[in-house]
Homo-oligomer: A and B are copies of this chain.
Amino acid sequence: MIGSGNVGTHLAKVLFEKGYEIVQVFSRDKGKAALLANQVNAEAITDLNLLRRSADLYILAVKDDAILELSTKLKLSGIVVHTSGTASMESIAAISDKIGVFYPLQTFSRERNIEWYSLPICLEANKEDILQSLEHLAKNLSNCVVSLSSEDRRWLHLAAVFVNNFANHLLLEAKTITDSRNIPFEILRALAVETALKAFSIGPFEAQTGPAKRGDSQTLQKQLNMLPDENIKIVYRLLSEAIQKQKS
């Protein structure tokens, strides 16, 4: 396991739990390498020259710019995959003849357990037998394994930015509002969960409700006036306009 960030940590741990041997954990940060290595009974290394040549699979769970850097330094003979939503498979072509992508579509934080069995794992490989090996591995973790091209994965990752990063930021804006009034943020939990469930049950177009959807311009104007910050006003206006423009 090359990388000990959120993805590397969760992935190494689930692989270890499923009985796979994690030989080594590499991180430039000695403490992080040791922390994860201890949890999965592996050797911690901070020097890529110490990488064992005998592993069946090398997983690059690192940031996109680190993938580029590694691809100029590493030359391996085993299967090498990265876990990125945006980097192309070809970006690691210089490392090995046997390359692929193992992209788990989820938001990983150290503090949260991951439900792997329903987690989509998106695969790509440069050879059919490598794809089959990766599928075998992925299906041991999840019942949602899909094969996607680099191009499709790039689009899926963009969609995921809207679903996770941007939606999470809206939750932060909501918390700023409730905090300012000493209203418990928790009160919005059921609404947030139902928002997600409903959009996937009846579709996000059919699911839309609220002042913008109803064309209630009086409420829209009042709420716009309530917002204290210019940037958040612009977000409010743009999203309200987008909702009003939306046709089925």
A215 to B136, CA, bound (A): 35
A100 to nearest B CB, angstroms? 19
Interface size on A, residues (CB 8 A): 95
Within 8 A of B (CB), among A167-208: 167-175, 177-178, 180-181, 183, 185-208
Within 8 A of B (CB), among A154-178: 154-156, 158-175, 177-178
Q: Which residues of B contact A112 (CB under 8 A)?
A: 194, 198, 201-202
Within 8 A of B (CB), among A106-127: 106-109, 111-112, 115, 118-120
Of the candidates B164, B177, B199, B234, the one whose C-beta lies within 8 Å of that of A238 is B234
Of the candidates B144, B197, B219, B243, the one whose C-beta lies within 8 Å of that of A64 is B219
* B64 close to A210 (CB less than 8 A): no
A38 is an interface residue with CB less than 8 A from chain B: no
Residues of A within 8 A of B (CB): 6, 63-65, 86, 105-109, 111-112, 115, 118-120, 144, 146, 148, 151-152, 154-156, 158-175, 177-178, 180-181, 183, 185-214, 216, 218-219, 222-223, 226-227, 231-232, 234-236, 238-239, 241-243, 246
Sample (17) of A-B pairs whose CB atoms are under 8 Å apart: A105-B188, A106-B194, A107-B209, A115-B190, A156-B187, A158-B227, A159-B173, A159-B178, A162-B174, A163-B174, A163-B188, A163-B192, A164-B195, A168-B198, A169-B239, A175-B205, A192-B199
